[in-house]
Amino acid sequence: MHPSKKIWLFVSAYFIQAQCITISYAKEISEISAPAVDVEETKDITSASNYFNLNGRELSIRREATLGETLNDIPGVTSSYFGPNASRPILRGMEGERAQIMQNGTSVLDASSASPDRAVGVDPMVAEQIEIVRGPASLIYGGGNVGGVINVTDHRIPKEPLDGMIGRGEAKYGGADNERSGVAVVDVGNGSFAIHADAYQRLTDDLKIPKSAAQKLINDGYAEHTKNRRLLNSGAETNGGGLGASLTFEKGYAGISFAQANNFYGTVAEPNVKIDMRNDRWDFASEIFDISGAISRAKVLLTHTDYQHKEIDGGAVGTTFLNRGNEGRIEASHAKLGDLTGSIGVQFSDTHSQAIGEEAFMPSTQTKKQGIYLYEELPIGKILLSGAARLDYNQMSSAGGERFGPSANVSFAPRNFSLGSQYAIDSSWRVNFNLSHAERAPAATELYAHGVHIATNQYLIGNSQLNKEISNNFEASLNWKTAKHSASFSTYYNRFSNFITGFSTGNQVDESGQSLGSLSETVIKGVPAEFKGVEAQAKFRIYEGQGDLDLNLRGDYLQATNQETGKPLPRISPMRIGTGFDYQFDRLRGNLDILHGFKQDRLAEQELSTSAYTLVNATLSYQFKSAFHLEAFAKARNLLNEDIRDHSSFLKEIAPMGGRSLLLGVRGEF
C-alpha cells in the first residue's frame, strides 16, 4: 500500500465528515438509522422464506471489523475466525460455496471462500444493510446455498430520487485491538441526479488477549505467537472508499459506482507473514418498474471485480493471488396472473484465478457459470406459497503445471428446486415450512488444489473426479409477534448424498508431500452426511415505567455427522444459549448480553476439543439533542476476561478472542 493512497483516503474521510457537520438543513428523524436503502428483490419476495435483516441502529451497534464477527452471535451463525482480521460467516455449519456472500445482489468475487486467512472483500463499515436469505428466494442469487445467502447492501448507487443531502459518520477508539477508525458517507442530489461518496479507515494493533489465554499458548508450545499478553501479528491497516452516481426517474434508475478496499494485515498463523490485499469493484445497476403489459419490472446488475493479495514474508513478497471476474444478472417480473406474482432471470459469471509463487497450492483456473431461475408466489387465503427453480451450467478449467498435472476441463449442470409455505394462524402467529433439493458444482479449489496450504498447516490434495454435491433439505419455523413481544423457533434437517470437504488421512508430510513432515495430509472427497439443528430467540417487555426494559433469549444447536463413518464432521460449533437485557429511557440506551458456549467434545478424527466459555458484553449509548443526531456510545467486551476459542476456526489453538476491553465512539447523521 502506497503511503500517498493511505493519506488520501484518511483525508477524504475526515473531509467528508467535516462537510456533514456544516450542513444547515438536517432532516428531522427520531433516532439514529441508516439512510433509506432500497432493499432489492428480497424486499417483496421473501415473505414465505426464512429471512433475517440487519440495518439501521441495530447494525451500527453490531458492526465489527469483519463480516463474520458482525453476525457471529446471531442464532445459526458462527464464523471461520482466523484472528481479528479474517472472519467469514458460517451459516448452520455451511461455509464457503454453501453460504455465498453477495454485495448489492452480485457475488463479492474475492478469495475468502478458498482459504480462511483471506479477508472478505466487503467491509462492514460501509454496509447499510445485511440480509440472510434462505428458502426459495435464495435461488435468485445462486444454487447450492444450503446454509443461505448473505447479501450486503451499500448505497453507492442511489436508487431513489434525492433532493438535497444526506449522510452519516462514525468514529471509534479503543477495544482489545486499540482500534482507531472512522467512516463517512454522503449522498447529494437534485431530484433527478444523485452522487454518492464514502471513505473509511481502520488502524488496529496486536490483539490484547486474557492472561490465561497467553499462558495457554506458551504451555502448548505456541510461545512465538504471544508477547506481553498480545496476539502477535494480528494488527491491521484497512482503508477504502467508493464513488457512485445515478439518474433517478419516476419509474426507475440507472447508475454506476467504483469502490476500492485495501487491507494490510497480519495472518496470525505465521508470526512474520502479512497479507496486502486490494479489491477494486465496478458496478452498474438499473431498474424499471411499474411497467404496463406482460412485464411489470425489469432489472440489470453488472459487476467487474479485480482482486489481488500478496503474502509478504519478512518484507519480501512470497506468493501473489489474483482473482478477476465479471458477473451479471438480468431479471424481469411478470404482471400478476390472478394472484400469482414472480420473476424470471438469468445470471452469468466468468472468473480467472491465478497464484504466483512458491506457496501456490492451486494452478491457474477459469470458472464460467450460466444460470436461469424462476421464482413465484401465490397467496391462498391465510396461506402464502412460494416456489423457485434454478438450472445452471458450470465449467471449470485448470491450466495444469508441474505438480498440478496436465490441463483439464470439467463441467456440471446443477439443478435446484425449493418450495415454501407460510400459514398465518392469526395476527400474531405464523408457521413456515421449506423443502428444497440442492445441487452444487465443486469449486475449483476442491477440484484442482495440490500443495502446501500454510494457513491451515495442511498439504491439500484436490480431486478432479468429484461429482456434484447433492442434498435434500427441510426446515420448519414458528413465529410469534405482538406490539411488545416476539419469539421464533426453527428446526432444520439437511441430508447430503455427497458432502464435499477436506479429510485428514492421518499422515504427516513435508512440503513435497513426502512422509515424516509437520503438515497434515488432507484429501478432498465427498461423503454422505447429515446436518440437523435448532435455533430460537425471543424478546419480552418485562418493565415499563422509568424507561422500558426488555428481556432477550436466544440459542442454537447443530449436529453434523459423516454417515459413512458415523463420526462427527469437523469444526462444528457447540450448543450456545444466551440471555440479556435492553433498556431505554428517553435518549439513554443500554444493553447487557450474556452468551454461554458449551464445551465441544463431539469431535471428528484428528480434532481437539474446545472448552466452554461465557461471554459477557455491555453497550451504553446516549443521543444528544442536535441537528446531526449525534450519539455517543461505549462497548465493553468480554467483561469476565475469559479465554474464548471458536471451535469452527482452523486457528482455535493459536488465536483466542480478545480480552476484556472498552471501545468508545460517536456517530451521527443528517
Residue-wise DSSP of 48-59: TS-EEEEEHHHH
**Would you tell me how many other CB atoms lie within 10 Å of the CB of residue 50?**
24
Burial (CB < 10 A; 0-12, 13-18, 19+), residue 125, is buried
Q: Which residues pair with 562 in a beta bridge?
A: 529, 567
Cβ distance 569 to 529 under 8 Å? Answer: yes
Q: Which three cell numbers stand for residue 197?
A: 461518496
**E runs forming strands in 314-456:** 316-337, 340-357, 365-380, 383-398, 408-412, 415-424, 429-440, 450-453
Phi, psi of 526 (to 5 degrees): -105, 135
Q: Whole-angstrom Cα distance, residue 255 to residue 306?
A: 20
Nearest to 154 by CA among 181, 118, 185: 185
Residue 299, pLDDT score: 97
Q: Whole-angstrom Cα distance, residue 536 to residue 428?
A: 17
**Residues recorded for the chain:** 670
Q: Which three cell numbers stand for residue 529?
A: 452426511
- In the three-class reduction of DSSP (H, G, I as helix; E, B as strand; rest coil), residue 570 is classed as coil
Q: Whole-angstrom Cα distance, residue 135 to residue 299?
A: 22
Residue 624, pLDDT score: 95
Cβ distance 385 to 421 under 8 Å? Answer: yes
In the numeric block, the cell 471462500 is attached to 113
Phi, psi of 12 (to 5 degrees): -60, -45
Residue 610 DSSP label: B
Residue 390, pLDDT score: 98
Which region holds residue 214: left if phi is over 0, alpha if psi is between -120 and 50, else beta? alpha
Residue 605 DSSP label: T
User: Taking CA 157 as the corner, what is the angle to CA 153 and CA 161, rounded to the nearest 5 degrees?
Assistant: 110
Our CA dihedral for 127, 133, 138, 140, rounded to 10 degrees, sits at -40
* β-pairing verdict for 101-103 and 149-153: parallel
Percent of the chain past pLDDT 70, that is, above it, reads 93
- In the three-class reduction of DSSP (H, G, I as helix; E, B as strand; rest coil), residue 1 is classed as coil
Q: Which three cell numbers stand for residue 447?
A: 477440484
Q: Which residues contact 584 (CB under 8 A, 6 or more apart)?
A: 547, 548, 590
C-alpha distance from residue 480 to each of 47, 50, 185, 403 (Å): 15, 14, 36, 57
Look up residue 288 and give its amino acid: I
Task: Write out pLDDT tens, residues 351-380.
Answer: 999 999 877 899 999 999 999 999 999 999
Q: Which three cell numbers stand for residue 501?
A: 470437504
Residue 50, pLDDT score: 65
**Would you tell me how many other CB atoms lie within 10 Å of the CB of residue 118?**
25
- Residue 387 CA, chain-centre distance (Å), reads 25
Phi, psi of 599 (to 5 degrees): -65, 135
Q: Which residues of the chain have pLDDT under 50?
A: 1-49
pTM comes to: 0.91
Task: Write out pLDDT tens, residues 136-166.
Answer: 999 999 999 999 999 999 999 999 999 999 9
Q: Whole-angstrom Cα distance, residue 230 to residue 218?
A: 12
Nearest to 529 by CA among 500, 502, 496: 496
**Sign of the dihedral through C-alpha 153, 662, 87, 1:** positive
User: How many alpha carbons fall within 13 Å on the CB side of residue 80?
Assistant: 23
**Sign of the dihedral through C-alpha 68, 71, 73, 77:** negative
Our CA dihedral for 264, 174, 12, 126, rounded to 10 degrees, sits at 80
For the chain, the straight-line distance linking the first and the last C-alpha, in angstroms and rounded, comes to: 33
Q: Which three cell numbers stand for residue 611?
A: 472448552
Domain annotation for the chain: domains and CATH numbers = 3-669 (2.40.170.20)
**Would you tell me how many other CB atoms lie within 10 Å of the CB of residue 223?**
11
C-alpha distance from residue 473 to each of 105, 144, 483 (Å): 24, 11, 33
Q: Which residues contact 3 (CB under 8 A, 6 or more apart)?
A: none
